C-alpha cells in the first residue's frame, strides 16, 4: 500500500513541469482539483493540485510544504476536466501550470479570492409559523420579517428593506430555527416553442439525440439561414429538460444580445455567459453557477470551453470554421479540436455547425469519422442569393465602387430595402503615397504599409499599432503630392454618403464600433428594417440576421487569390459565402455583387458557379496533392528576435538537433510577414503523415531545444496544428 504524501501542483509559470509539495504543516494533503498557496523561490503563488504522489524526484530535504490549502480544500476542477487539461498541455506542448491555472476564471487566481456561495432563499419553518401566531412582543423587526416570509420564500435581497440591520435580524431567526435557508430554484421562464422542423432539420436532431450518452462528432453543414440555430435549440431543449447541462461555443463576434435573447426566449432560462470581455466578478459568478451545476446552459467564446460542468451532456460549437476558435499566443490551442476531445472523454455528442465547414471538418465528414448533416435550403422559403461578377478591368471604381454597383445599391434603396458593402480593410486607404517620387508610408517595425486614417489625421500600422501624424508634404521629395492608394471602409462610407446623402449609413469595423454597445445598437437599428446602407469588414460576415437586406457588394478579395498562405483560398471562400449569406434572408430575393480584377480565376468561378461544398472539395484535393493539412499534420517552431541572425542561428541549431525519423522539416524560413513589431520572425515547419509520428519526434526534440544556449536570446514557441504561417 502506498502512502500519498505529496501533491503535484500546477503553477502559473512558463516552465514545462509540475511542482511537488508536502502537505501544509499540521494539515492534511490537499485534494486534487483544489487551490493551494505555495512558495516558489522568493515568491508565493496560487496553483492547482493536479495529482498526489508518494515520492518525488526532489531530495526530501528540498521539499517544502504547502503554505495554505485555499477555499477549505474545495475541488474547483474535477478529475475529468483535469484529465482534459493534462491532454492539452501534452498535446500542445505548453507549460502545464499556464494551461491549468488559465482554466480558472481570473478572479480565482489570487489567494484571497473564493468561490461565491450560491444565492439562498429563506423559508418559514413550522416553528416560525407558530411564533407568528403570538403577538410581536419586544422584537417587532423580527416579527415583521417573519410576516414577510409568511407569503412564501424570499431571497435575501428581497428582505433588505426590513430594518437597517436585516442581516442580523435574519441571523437571529435562523438561529432560533424559525427560518431556514435553501438554494434558489431555477427560475424557469416561460419558453416559447419553436417552429415545426423541416425534414433535414428533423433528421439532424434525431441523429444527435440518438447519440446522447455516447461520443460522436456531428457536422451540421447548413447554408446560412438554413436553421442550424433552430437545430441547436431543439437539442438543448431536450438535454436541459432531461436535467443535463450543455455548452455552446460561439466565435468572438457571435456572442450578441440578439443571440442570447433567442436562447432565453426559446429555452426559458438565463444562460450563464462566459467570455473574456466580462468584468471579473460577472465571469466568476457565471463560472461558479456552471461549476456547481446550478446553471444548465453555458454560452461563451473560446475560453468558456474549460468551464467545469458536472452534468455536461452536449457540446455545440457554432461557426466551427471561425479563426477565433484558435488561440494564437501563449497557450496555443484549437477550441474546436479540444471540444471534440472533451466530448470524446465524456462520451457525449458534439455538434460542429457551419455554412462553410473548415477543410479539417469536411475531411472528417467525407471520410466518415463525423456524422454529416447537410441543410441545403433556407428554412423560411427564402431562396439563396444570386451572383453577379463585375469585371473591374472594364470599368472604373471611383472611391472603391463601380458604377454598376452604385446603381444596384440605388435600386435596392428605392425598393425600400437594405444593402451592404463589404471590404476587409478598415481605415481610409491602405497606403499613402507620393505621386511625385513614389514614396509610400510603411511601418518601421513591420513588413507592412501604414493605413491612412484620414479623419484622425494619422498613419496607423494595423499589425503592431504604431502610429504617426500624416505628413503635410512628402517626407522624401517635399512635394505636395500625397494621395491615398486603394480604399478602406472609411472611404467607401464617404463614397456612399456623397451618392446617397439622404440614407443612413452604418459603418461596421473595429474603429467605428470600438465603444462598448455601439455594435449592438447598430445591429438593432439595421434589424428595424428601414432602408439603410452598411459598410464594413468581416464583422458583417458573422451570423447576423438582417431581414431587410437584399444586396451585398463585395469590394475586393483579390489579394487572397494569389496569397503565399495555403489557407488563403479556404478563408476567402468562407468569407465570400458568409458575407453573401446576409442577403435575402427573408421573403425577398438577394443579390450578391462581386467586384474583381480576376473574374476568370478558376477558384472564384468554381465557388460562384458550384457553391462552397464543390469548392471546398476541390481545395481538399489540392491539399491532398500537395500533402498539406488536413492530409498531413504540422507543427510550427517560431522564433523571433530583433536581430535576424540571432533567430536564424537558433533555428539552425534547432534543426540540427531534430530527432531522426520519418518527419519532414522545412526551414528556417521567414514567416509570411517576417518583421512584426520590430522583431524578425522565422519558422521551422515540421510535417508528418500522422499525429503519432509528429508527436513522436517533437516530444524528444523539446528538451533538446530548451538546452540550446542560442534559444535564450530569442522568443520561441511551438504551435501544433498552426493556422497562420
Instruction: Select the residue interacting with ligand ADP from 379, 443, 575, 725 (CB under 6 A).
Output: 379
Query: C-alpha dihedral over 50, 51, 52, 53, to 10 degrees?
Result: -130
The span of 80-88, 220-228, 237-245, 427-435 binding ligand ADP (CB under 6 A) equals: 220-228
CB of 375 or CB of 636, closer to ligand ADP: 375
Given ligand ADP, Zn ion, none, residue 463, with its beta carbon under 5 to 8 Å by kind, binds: Zn ion
Sign of CA dihedral 189, 192, 198, 199: positive
Given Zn ion, ligand ADP, none, residue 250, with its beta carbon under 5 to 8 Å by kind, binds: none
Our finding on whether 379 is near Zn ion (CB under 5 A) is no
The three grid cell numbers given for residue 556, joined into one nine-digit string:
475586393
Helix (H, G, I), strand (E, B) or coil at 83: helix
Our finding on whether 483 is near Zn ion (CB under 5 A) is no
Given ligand ADP, Zn ion, none, residue 548, with its beta carbon under 5 to 8 Å by kind, binds: none
Instruction: Select the residue interacting with Zn ion from 32, 191, 260, 464 (CB under 5 A).
Output: 464
Which strand ranges, in their side-by-side order, compose the sheet holding 68-69?
Answer: 19-21, 6-10, 43-53, 35-40, 68-69
Instruction: Select the residue interacting with ligand ADP from 121, 142, 201, 513 (CB under 6 A).
Output: 201
Helix (H, G, I), strand (E, B) or coil at 692: helix
Measured CA to CA, the distance from residue 219 to residue 352 in angstroms comes to 5
For 221, phi then psi, to 5°, come to -105, 90
Q: Who's near 140: CB < 8 A, 6+ residues apart? A: none
Query: Cell 502506498 sits at which residue?
Result: 2
Shortest approach of Zn ion to residue 468 CB, angstroms?
11
Q: Who's near 666: CB < 8 A, 6+ residues apart? A: 684, 685, 686, 687
The span of 196-204, 320-328, 412-420, 712-720 binding ligand ADP (CB under 6 A) equals: 196-204
Are 244 and 208 in contact by the 8 Å Cβ rule? The answer is no
The span of 54-62, 194-202, 397-405, 661-669 binding ligand ADP (CB under 6 A) equals: 194-202
Instruction: Select the residue interacting with ligand ADP from 8, 229, 537, 632 (CB under 6 A).
Output: 229
CB of 435 or CB of 664, closer to Zn ion: 435
**Residues contacting Zn ion: total by CB under 5 A:** 14
The three grid cell numbers given for residue 624, joined into one nine-digit string:
491532398
Our finding on whether 121 is near ligand ADP (CB under 6 A) is no
Sign of CA dihedral 100, 106, 112, 115: negative
Given Zn ion, ligand ADP, none, residue 723, with its beta carbon under 5 to 8 Å by kind, binds: none
Instruction: Select the residue interacting with ligand ADP from 20, 211, 221, 230 (CB under 6 A).
Output: 230
Sign of CA dihedral 271, 276, 277, 278: positive
DSSP code string of 181-201: EEEPPP---PPPP-PPPPHHH
Closest CA to 717 of 708, 705, 707, 709: 705
Shortest approach of ligand ADP to residue 418 CB, angstroms?
16
Our finding on whether 67 is near ligand ADP (CB under 6 A) is no
Cis peptide before 668 (omega within 30 of 0): yes
Q: From the CB of residue 519, how many other CB atoms can be counted at a distance below 10 Å? A: 18
CB of 321 or CB of 463, closer to Zn ion: 463
CB of 226 or CB of 634, closer to ligand ADP: 226
Our finding on whether 584 is near ligand ADP (CB under 6 A) is no
Are 32 and 10 in contact by the 8 Å Cβ rule? The answer is no
**CA distances in angstroms from 301 to 78, 256, 579, listed in the order given:** 21, 11, 21
Measured CA to CA, the distance from residue 581 to residue 375 in angstroms comes to 14
Q: Which residue is nearest to ligand ADP (CB)?
A: 227
Shortest approach of ligand ADP to residue 251 CB, angstroms?
13
Our finding on whether 254 is near ligand ADP (CB under 6 A) is no
Q: Who's near 707: CB < 8 A, 6+ residues apart? A: none
Shortest approach of Zn ion to residue 437 CB, angstroms?
3
**CA distances in angstroms from 385 to 227, 503, 552, 573, 591, listed in the order given:** 16, 24, 9, 15, 5
Our finding on whether 433 is near Zn ion (CB under 5 A) is no
Instruction: Select the residue interacting with ligand ADP from 198, 301, 361, 595 (CB under 6 A).
Output: 198
The three grid cell numbers given for residue 383, joined into one nine-digit string:
431562396
Shortest approach of ligand ADP to residue 318 CB, angstroms?
8
Are 671 and 683 in contact by the 8 Å Cβ rule? The answer is yes
Closest CA to 35 of 92, 141, 114: 114
The span of 79-87, 225-233, 498-506, 653-661 binding ligand ADP (CB under 6 A) equals: 225-233
Q: Who's near 546: CB < 8 A, 6+ residues apart? A: 418, 420, 526, 527, 582, 585
Measured CA to CA, the distance from residue 268 to residue 364 in angstroms comes to 35
Our finding on whether 385 is near ligand ADP (CB under 6 A) is no
Our finding on whether 363 is near ligand ADP (CB under 6 A) is no
* DSSP class of 304: G
Our finding on whether 389 is near ligand ADP (CB under 6 A) is no
Q: Which x/- pattern, by CB under 6 A, does the window 401-430 give for ligand ADP?
A: ------------------------------
Shortest approach of ligand ADP to residue 545 CB, angstroms?
6
Our finding on whether 437 is near Zn ion (CB under 5 A) is yes
Please report which residue ranges of 489-599 form alpha helices under DSSP H: 489-499, 518-527, 558-561, 568-580
Instruction: Select the residue interacting with Zn ion from 75, 375, 461, 496 (CB under 5 A).
Output: 461
Shortest approach of ligand ADP to residue 532 CB, angstroms?
20
Our finding on whether 260 is near ligand ADP (CB under 6 A) is no
Our finding on whether 443 is near Zn ion (CB under 5 A) is yes
Q: Who's near 650: CB < 8 A, 6+ residues apart? A: 639, 641, 708, 710, 711, 713, 714, 716
Instruction: Select the residue interacting with Zn ion from 56, 256, 327, 436 (CB under 5 A).
Output: 436
* DSSP class of 442: B
The three grid cell numbers given for residue 707, joined into one nine-digit string:
538546452
Our finding on whether 191 is near ligand ADP (CB under 6 A) is no
The span of 137-145, 473-481, 621-629, 635-643 binding Zn ion (CB under 5 A) equals: 473-481
Instruction: Select the residue interacting with ligand ADP from 23, 24, 222, 244 (CB under 6 A).
Output: 222
Our finding on whether 52 is near Zn ion (CB under 5 A) is no
CB of 218 or CB of 425, closer to Zn ion: 425
Shortest approach of Zn ion to residue 722 CB, angstroms?
22
CB of 249 or CB of 431, closer to Zn ion: 431
CB of 69 or CB of 229, closer to ligand ADP: 229
Closest CA to 314 of 251, 257, 230, 242: 242
CB of 6 or CB of 248, closer to ligand ADP: 248
Our finding on whether 601 is near Zn ion (CB under 5 A) is no
Our finding on whether 574 is near ligand ADP (CB under 6 A) is no
Instruction: Select the residue interacting with ligand ADP from 225, 484, 548, 590 (CB under 6 A).
Output: 225
Instruction: Select the residue interacting with ligand ADP from 380, 448, 503, 646 (CB under 6 A).
Output: 380
Measured CA to CA, the distance from residue 560 to residue 555 in angstroms comes to 13
CB of 234 or CB of 681, closer to ligand ADP: 234
Listed in order, strand segments (DSSP E) in 99-166 are: 120-124, 154-155
Shortest approach of ligand ADP to residue 527 CB, angstroms?
11
Closest CA to 389 of 550, 553, 534: 553
> Which residues, numbered 489-548, are part of the site for ligand ADP (CB under 6 A)?
545
Are 385 and 589 in contact by the 8 Å Cβ rule? The answer is yes
Our finding on whether 434 is near Zn ion (CB under 5 A) is yes
Please give the residue ranges that form the binding site for ligand ADP (CB under 6 A): 195, 197-198, 201, 222, 224-230, 379-380, 545
Please give the residue ranges that form the binding site for Zn ion (CB under 5 A): 434, 436-437, 439, 443, 445-446, 461, 463-464, 474, 476-477, 479
Amino acid at each position: 500500500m502506498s502512502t500519498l504524501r505529496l501533491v503535484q501542483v500546477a503553477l502559473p509559470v512558463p516552465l514545462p513541469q509540475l511542482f511537488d509539495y508536502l502537505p501544509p504543516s499540521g494539515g492534511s494533503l490537499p485534494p486534487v482539483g483544489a487551490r493551494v498557496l505555495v512558495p516558489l523561490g522568493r515568491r508565493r503563488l496560487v496553483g492547482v493540485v493536479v495529482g498526489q504522489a508518494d515520492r518525488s524526484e526532489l531530495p526530501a530535504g528540498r521539499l517544502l510544504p504547502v503554505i495554505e490549502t485555499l477555499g477549505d480544500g474545495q475541488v474547483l476542477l474535477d478529475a475529468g476536466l483535469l484529465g482534459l487539461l493534462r491532454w492539452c498541455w501534452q498535446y500542445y506542448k505548453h507549460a502545464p501550470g499556464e494551461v491549468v491555472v488559465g482554466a480558472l476564471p481570473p478572479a480565482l487566481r489570487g489567494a484571497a479570492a473564493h468561490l461565491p456561495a450560491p444565492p439562498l432563499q429563506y423559508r418559514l419553518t413550522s416553528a416560525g409559523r407558530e411564533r407568528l401566531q403570538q403577538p410581536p412582543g419586544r422584537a417587532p423587526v423580527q416579527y415583521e420579517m417573519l410576516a414577510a416570509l409568511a407569503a412564501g420564500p424570499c431571497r435575501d435581497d428581497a428582505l433588505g428593506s426590513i430594518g437597517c440591520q436585516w442581516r442580523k435580524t435574519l441571523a437571529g431567526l435562523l438561529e432560533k430555527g424559525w427560518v431556514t435557508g435553501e438554494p434558489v430554484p431555477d427560475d424557469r421562464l416561460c419558453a416559447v416553442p419553436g417552429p415545426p422542423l423541416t425534414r433535414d432539420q428533423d433528421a439532424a436532431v434525431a441523429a444527435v439525440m440518438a447519440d446522447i450518452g455516447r461520443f460522436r462528432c456531428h457536422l451540421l453543414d447548413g447554408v446560412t439561414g438554413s436553421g442550424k440555430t433552430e437545430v441547436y435549440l431543439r437539442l438543448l431543449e431536450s438535454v436541459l429538460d432531461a436535467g443535463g447541462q450543455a455548452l455552446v461555443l460561439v466565435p468572438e463576434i457571435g456572442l450578441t444580445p440578439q443571440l442570447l435573447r433567442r436562447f432565453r426566449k426559446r429555452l426559458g432560462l438565463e444562460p450563464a455567459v462566459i467570455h473574456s470581455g466580462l468584468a471579473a466578478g460577472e465571469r466568476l459568478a457565471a463560472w461558479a453557477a456552471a461549476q456547481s451545476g446550478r446553471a444548465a446552459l453555458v454560452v461563451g467564446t473560446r475560453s468558456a470551453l474549460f468551464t467545469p460542468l458536472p452534468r455536461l451532456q452536449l457540446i455545440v460549437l457554432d461557426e466551427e470554421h471561425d479563426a477565433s476558435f484558435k488561440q494564437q499566443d501563449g497557450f496555443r490551442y484549437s477550441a474546436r479540436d479540444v471540444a471534440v476531445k472533451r466530448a470524446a472523454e465524456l462520451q457525449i455528442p458534439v455538434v460542429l455547425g457551419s455554412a462553410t465547414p473548415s477543410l479539417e471538418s469536411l475531411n472528417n465528414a467525407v471520410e466518415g469519422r463525423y456524422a454529416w448533416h447537410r441543410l441545403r435550403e433556407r428554412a423560411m422559403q427564402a431562396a439563396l442569393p444570386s451572383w453577379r461578377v463585375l469585371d473591374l478591368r472594364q470599368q472604373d471604381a471611383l472611391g472603391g465602387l463601380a458604377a454598376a454597383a452604385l446603381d444596384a445599391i440605388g435600386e435596392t434603396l428605392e425598393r425600400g430595402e437594405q444593402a451592404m458593402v463589404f471590404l476587409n480593410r478598415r481605415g481610409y486607404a491602405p497606403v499613402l503615397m507620393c505621386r511625385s517620387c513614389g514614396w509610400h508610408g510603411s511601418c518601421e517595425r513591420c513588413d507592412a504599409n501604414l493605413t491612412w486614417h484620414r479623419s484622425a489625421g494619422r498613419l496607423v500600422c494595423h499589425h503592431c499599432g504604431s502610429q504617426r501624424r500624416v505628413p503635410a508634404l512628402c517626407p522624401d521629395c517635399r512635394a505636395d503630392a500625397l494621395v491615398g492608394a486603394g480604399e478602406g471602409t472609411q472611404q467607401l462610407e464617404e463614397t456612399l454618403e456623397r451618392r446617397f446623402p439622404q440614407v443612413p449609413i452604418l459603418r461596421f469595423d473595429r474603429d467605428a464600433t470600438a465603444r462598448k454597445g455601439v455594435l449592438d445598437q447598430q445591429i438593432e437599428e439595421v434589424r428595424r428594417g428601414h432602408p439603410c446602407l452598411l459598410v464594413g469588414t468581416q464583422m458583417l460576415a458573422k451570423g447576423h440576421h438582417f431581414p431587410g437586406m437584399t444586396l451585398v457588394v463585395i469590394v475586393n478579395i483579390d489579394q487572397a487569390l494569389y496569397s503565399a498562405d495555403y489557407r488563403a483560398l479556404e478563408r476567402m471562400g468562407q468569407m465570400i459565402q458568409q458575407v453573401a449569406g446576409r442577403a435575402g434572408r427573408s421573403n425577398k430575393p438577394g443579390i450578391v455583387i462581386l467586384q474583381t480584377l480576376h473574374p476568370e480565376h478558376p477558384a472564384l468561378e468554381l465557388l460562384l458557379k458550384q457553391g462552397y461544398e464543390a469548392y471546398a472539395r476541390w481545395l481538399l484535393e489540392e491539399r491532398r496533392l500537395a500533402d498539406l493539412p488536413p492530409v498531413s499534420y504540422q507543427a510550427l517552431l517560431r522564433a523571433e528576435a530583433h536581430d535576424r541572425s540571432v533567430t536564424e542561428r537558433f533555428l539552425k541549431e534547432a534543426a540540427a538537433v531534430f530527432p531522426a525519423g520519418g518527419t519532414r522539416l522545412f526551414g528556417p524560413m521567414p514567416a509570411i510577414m517576417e518583421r512584426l513589431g520590430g522583431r524578425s520572425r522565422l519558422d521551422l515547419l515540421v510535417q508528418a503523415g500522422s499525429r503519432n509520428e509528429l508527436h513522436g519526434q517533437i516530444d524528444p526534440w523539446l528538451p533538446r531545444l530548451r538546452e540550446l544556449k542560442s534559444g535564450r536570446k530569442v522568443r520561441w514557441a511551438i504551435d501544433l496544428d498552426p493556422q497562420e504561417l
